[in-house]
Amino acid sequence: MNKLIPTISKLPMMKSGGGIKIDLAKRGTFKTQATKMGMGVQQAASKILSAKEGTYTPAMRKKANFAKNFAK
């Protein structure tokens, strides 16, 4: 149970965005795709995730899922 409560030493890491590391070459690729689709990020994520399997690449589906989870 104590593992669920962050210790004081981990708070600065959480404040700066946690342990999420996105490769610099990959940053902005999903927003670019959403713009090409003429949509916002969340609209594009919904469309990609609701599309038939195989319509979009697995990488794009992962990015859409990340965008949906990040918005929560």
State mean pLDDT over 38-60. 96
Identify the DSSP state of 19.
T
71 within some domain: yes
SS3 63: helix
Alpha helices in the chain (DSSP H): 11-15, 29-36, 41-50, 58-70
**Domain extent for 65:** 25-72
Tens-digit pLDDT profile for residues 6-34: 566 666 665 666 677 888 999 999 999 99
Number of domains present in the structure of the chain: 1
69 within some domain: yes
5 within some domain: no
58 within some domain: yes
State mean pLDDT over 48-57. 96
